[in-house]
Structure 1
Amino acid sequence: MDGIKKILGIVWLLLALVVAYYGITEFGWPKIMSEKQDDQVFGWIIMTILMPIIVGGLAIFGWYAIKGEYSQDKL
């Protein structure tokens, strides 16, 4: 079971990278560079508030899973 948790930790880290890339290229910069003020506000909210929370949470969870913090020995 600990091996599966470590593999899923790698999956979570890769998912964090994918979400960061997709969030910046699809929702962040194109919305910030838009002509409409509504899009610009949405882009800044995505880039400054939501992206750090989402990517940071996935990355921390994946890092702890790889390090073995969720193993049965720690409980």
Structure 2
Amino acid sequence: MNLLRKYLGILWLLLGVILGVYLFYQTAQALSSPTTNAEDYVFWIVIVTIFIPILIGFILFGYYAYKGEYSSEIRK
């Protein structure tokens, strides 16, 4: 079970990084459009502000799962 947690930790870690890159790619693509108006800027600022902490949580959760912090073994 601990091996499964490590593999899923790597998955969460990579998922957080990939989603972060995708979020910034989509933001840059939407804001570089010639038809961008002020409402688009406000929308993307809100989206990025909300999702950055979620992505950081994914990455931290994956890191700690990979390091074995969630294992059921008793540590001394």
TM tier relative to shorter chain: 0.7 to 0.9
Which structure has the bigger radius of gyration? Answer: 2
1:1-75 matches, cutoff 5 A:
1-26=1-26, 28-34=27-33, 35-47=36-48, 49-74=49-74
Where do 5+ consecutive residues of structure 1 fail to align? none
Query: Which ranges in structure 2 are unaligned for 5 or more consecutive residues?
Result: none
What's the Cα RMSD here? 1.7
Identical columns (%): 36
Count of paired positions: 73
Q: In the alignment, residue 62 of structure 1 is paired with which amino acid?
A: G
CA change 1:23–1:74 in 2 (3 A) is: farther
TM superposition shift of 1:32: 3.7
Amino acid at match of 1:45: V
